[in-house]
Amino acid sequence: MSTWLDEIRWDNQGLVPVIAQDANSQRILMFAYANREAVALTAEKGTAHYWTRSRQKLWHKGEESGHFQHVREIRLDCDGDVIIYSIDQEGGIACHTGRESCFFRVLRDGVWEITDEVKKDPSQIYAHGHGH
């Protein structure tokens, strides 16, 4: 029996790109990949799950940092190959650097300028290593 998960166009590694977007401000907070299990768990449990390519494992965002992402909506794009998690970000920090968003650098005159303050020192967030 075909399910909604079968309508997602998974890449050749069984992954789909996921954009985490703040449900209130609409700011892009994070980009990651998810496999079928991660997307299914996100829908079932209501908190964001991903697949970490560097560690090759299922990643329940917040399991180490406590910064869980409460998913209000899961959206699929027109081609079926990109997903958006519309989220409420616990602690207001999505990035392992301790910033609100992973997209904290902006190109200005040929230089990447940092636009966001660190809200919390990563060493206080992660007991062992960083989050990605």
Number of domains in the chain: 1
The domain of 9 spans 4-125
In a domain, 130, yes or no: no
pLDDT band at 107 (very low <50, low <70, confident <90, very high): very high
Q: Is the pLDDT of residue 128 over 60?
A: no
Q: What is the pLDDT of residue 122?
A: 92
Is 132 within the bounds of a domain? no
Closest among 44, 84, 48 to 67, alpha carbons compared: 48
- Per-residue pLDDT at 1: 80
The percent of residues in the chain predicted with pLDDT above 70, rounded, is: 95
Residue 54 domain flag:
yes
* pLDDT score recorded for residue 126: 80
Domain at 78, CATH number: 3.10.20.810
16 in a structural domain: yes
User: Does residue 74 sit in helix, strand or coil?
Assistant: strand
Does the pLDDT of residue 17 top 90, yes or no?
Answer: yes
Phi, psi of 32 (to 5 degrees): -155, -175
Pairing assessment for the beta strands 57-60 and 15-22 based on DSSP bridges = unpaired
pLDDT at residue 20 greater than cutoff 70: yes
Say how far apart CA 54 and CA 101 lie, in whole Å. Answer: 20
Q: What is the pLDDT of residues 63-86, one digit of tens each?
A: 999 999 999 999 999 999 999 999
In a domain, 24, yes or no: yes
